[in-house]
Amino acid sequence: MATATPLVPPSFGRYLTEPAQRRWLAALPELARHHLGRWDLTRDGPTLYGHTAIVLPVRRADGAPAVLKLGLPHREAAHEALGLSLWDGDGAVRLLDHDADDWALLLERLDPHHSLDDEPLAAALEVVAALVRRLDRPAPAGVRTLAEIAERWAATFPLDNADGRVPAELVEQAVAYCRELGPTSAARLVNEDLHFENVLRADREPWLVIDPKPLSGDPEFGLIPLLTNRIDESDPVERLAWLVEATGADPDRARRWTFVRALDDWIDGEDDTNPAVAGAPRIARALA
């Protein structure tokens, strides 16, 4: 059923303030119309959106439901289509088509109104731990590497903390971990943004992962979103220990990478409504 609601909701993009981001936002309606026509799609409901992407419910030419996702070009999302194509629907949303130049993805439709965030914490953790194990596989060539990220952080953490927001001794500890762990990191396909709201109800399976941010590195690097989200429902250190056992992660690398990522969120974070930012100091101090 066609809809008269706007392709791009007026409230989308309020966090996008840089010139390149505003140019992308201005071009977004025409980009959406282009891909609706290109893939012979009919809108099937109001547009959904997050901070950096819109998702249009659509019907394909044969009437099958799908969604058209148009995302802001940014480094962390650069290999989303590649990761989804490698998982091929095994534990993750299925990629039906994509346009790498326009950052456009045609995806199977899941239930956007029911995520693991709606489930009791213990049940949600059981589901997500099983998905972590299913999604683990060798990383392909060409994706971002944890070694590169760690090298960059080792150089930039002290500079970015010039205002002294984070205690200097914690920054030094994070830099040391980056220099030690980065060069020896594994080459597994890791989703650095796997949290409860990014696991949705589905028809094909009970739960499927969406919106991955793939990189090549240690699986332990991807655990922190499962601590910062719903942080007040359990002790984050105890939750990390449970996740380590449930996923087969290395406990020492899990502790140290989680500490490093907490420092990154603490140094860079300005939005206290973001769970990663709000929980970062608590997690970093607990794991230091």
Q: Which residue has the tokens 């002790």?
A: 235
Half-sphere exposure of 38 (CA within 13 A, CB side): 14
Q: Strand 207-209 relative to strand 199-201: parallel, antiparallel, unpaired?
A: antiparallel
* CA-based R_g, the chain, Å: 19
HEC sequence for 185-238: CCCEEEECCCCHHHEEECCCCCEEECCCCEEEECHHHHCCHHHHCCHHHCCHHH
Give residues with Cβ within 8 angstroms of 212, minimum separation 6: 80, 83, 84, 92, 191, 193, 194, 198
One-letter amino acid at 250 equals: D
CA terminus-to-terminus distance, the chain: 54
Question: According to DSSP H, which parts of 51-167 are helical?
Answer: 80-87, 121-135, 146-160
Catalytic residues, which ones? 193
Closest CA to 97 of 38, 33, 28, 30: 38
**Residue length of the chain:** 288
Q: CA 219 to CA 80: how far, in whole Å?
A: 17
- Cα 239 to Cα 25, 58, 190, 224, 258: the distances in Å are 39, 38, 19, 10, 12
Which tokens hold the place of 155?
A: 């150089």
